[in-house]
């Protein structure tokens, strides 16, 4: 039982990491070398959305 739970947790973490890597690759493909400014602008947008 513990092995199944551990396997599901590891699969979930690996899927999360895969999605994050794909997202950063997509942002780099769209924005090019301007990725840092894009991430800062996105972060500022989310901060103003929550405030």
CA atoms within 13 A on the CB side of 3: 0
Residue 5: per-residue pLDDT: 92
pTM above threshold 0.75: no
Question: What are the tens digits of pLDDT across the range 3-43?
Answer: 899 999 999 999 999 998 998 888 888 877 787 888 888 88
User: How many whole angstroms separate alpha carbon 13 and alpha carbon 6?
Assistant: 11
Residues contacting residue 39 through CB under 8 Å, at least 6 positions apart = 27
User: How many whole angstroms separate alpha carbon 18 and alpha carbon 2?
Assistant: 24
User: How many whole angstroms separate alpha carbon 5 and alpha carbon 1?
Assistant: 6
């Amino acid at each position: 039982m513990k092995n199944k739970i551990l396997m599901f947790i590891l699969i979930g973490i690996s899927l999360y990491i895969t999605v994050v890597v794909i997202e950063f690759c997509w942002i780099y493909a769209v924005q090019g070398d301007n990725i840092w400014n894009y991430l800062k602008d996105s972060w500022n947008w989310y901060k103003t959305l929550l405030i």
